[in-house]
Structure 1
Amino acid sequence: MEIRQATYQDVEGIIKLQLEVAEYHRKLDSVYKFQDDIAEQFRIYVTSLINNEKSAVFIAFAKEEIVGYGIAAIIDENPLFKYPKYAMIEEMGISENFRSKGCGQMLLESIFNWLHLHEVEDVRLKVHNRNKGGINFWEKVGFKTEMYNMKMSLNKR
């Protein structure tokens, strides 16, 4: 398995994997309601991040097939805080056949190296509270719960 930054030529392979990951999330919770044109929307999103100085898209591939991807973005923090920026892990998707085989950790190391070059000290992410495998992975690599992300639907109020 190898890791590298994605290029525009990788977008279709990333989309294929993202659709697999989206289905996993859809089964996890009904809160995941995706656009009918999810592939096109994700194509636009990923394409906008490639060669963007404030974001990075990394892919893991085995036998010329994309089996994982990770997306990170540098965010400008509220100017009241001591550290002016942080990074957000926007997406991490691993093909089901490659989970628990080091793929996520390799992608994360590449993301961390990229963030280090950009002098980013803090990394944040969101993971669904029902995604036990994801929570276990993030805790295993050193992430800790710091805040709760809360939501309320005004339609059900």
Structure 2
Amino acid sequence: MIKEADPDDIDDVFELWRELLDFHQPYHPIFKYKPNSEQEQKKELLVRLKDKDTRFFGYVQEDEWQGMIIASLKQAAPGFKLSKKGYIAETVVKAHYRGTGIGNELFEAAKNWLIDKGADHIELQVSVKNTAAIKFWEVQGFTPSTHHMVLDVSSKAKKS
């Protein structure tokens, strides 16, 4: 069943969030995290958990968190037709539960919450190398609008 996470769920949320990052490690350096950074990462997740315009939805069966999606409402530039942006952040279903419909249920919960909060559109980012996720989001009705690009300059900054 779908459950809204609260700060007491931080360990379960963190476990799923780390699974998502670990899955994406080979895709791009942006998904890598520093060793021994668990406390800092949990602190950041707690800030997001407490944000009034953000919800963490978990799919929980018999006290096991099998999947999670994070949704936020953000005000875009008011001069645009679509200015109340719903944003889907991290979305993950444990590997052995993928393909069972959990992702669909999580997205429905997030989408309904965003619509209830006044979102007029929903955006997300997905790794270009995660073809299964791209297909999942296309089935949900998402289409590309931009091509998000990253330039890692961290090694150049250290030399300066």
TM norm structure 1:
0.89
Is it true that 1:134 corresponds to 2:133 in the alignment? yes
Code of the aligned partner of 1:52:
D
CA contact (8 A) 1:19 1:39 kept: no
Of 70-79 and 37-46, the range deviating more from structure 2: 37-46
1:75-106 per-residue CA deviation (whole Å, 9 max, x = no partner) reads: 11113213332011111011101111111110
Code of the aligned partner of 1:148:
H
Partner of 1:108: 107
Task: Measure the CA separation in 2 of the matches of 1:137 and 1:47.
Answer: 28
Partner of 1:45: 44
Partner of 2:11: 12
Partner of 2:142: 143
Partner of 1:76: 75
Structure 1's unaligned 5+ residue stretches are: none
Q: CA RMSD for the aligned pairs? A: 1.7
Task: Measure the CA separation in 1 of the matches of 2:79 and 2:42.
Answer: 35
Q: Report the 3-state secondary structure (helix = DSSP H, G, I; strand = E; otherwise coil) of the residue aligned with 2:123.
A: strand
CA contact (8 A) 1:11 1:47 kept: yes
Of 140-149 and 35-44, the range deviating more from structure 2: 35-44
Partner of 1:119: 118
Q: Report the 3-state secondary structure (helix = DSSP H, G, I; strand = E; otherwise coil) of the residue aligned with 1:27.
A: coil
1:46-72 per-residue CA deviation (whole Å, 9 max, x = no partner) reads: 212234221111111122111111101
Of 92-101 and 74-83, the range deviating more from structure 2: 74-83
Task: Measure the CA separation in 1 of the matches of 2:40 and 2:151.
Answer: 25
Is it true that 1:91 corresponds to 2:99 in the alignment? no
1:10-61 per-residue CA deviation (whole Å, 9 max, x = no partner) reads: 1101111222221111033344221224432331222122342211111111
Task: Measure the CA separation in 2 of the matches of 1:115 and 1:38.
Answer: 31
Q: Report the 3-state secondary structure (helix = DSSP H, G, I; strand = E; otherwise coil) of the residue aligned with 1:79.
A: coil
Q: Report the 3-state secondary structure (helix = DSSP H, G, I; strand = E; otherwise coil) of the residue aligned with 2:113.
A: helix
Code of the aligned partner of 1:40:
Q
Over 3 Å counting, the alpha-carbon distance change for 1:19 and 1:151 in structure 2 is closer
TM norm structure 2:
0.88
Q: How many residues align?
A: 155
Structure 2's unaligned 5+ residue stretches are: none
Over 3 Å counting, the alpha-carbon distance change for 1:97 and 1:109 in structure 2 is same
Code of the aligned partner of 1:106:
E
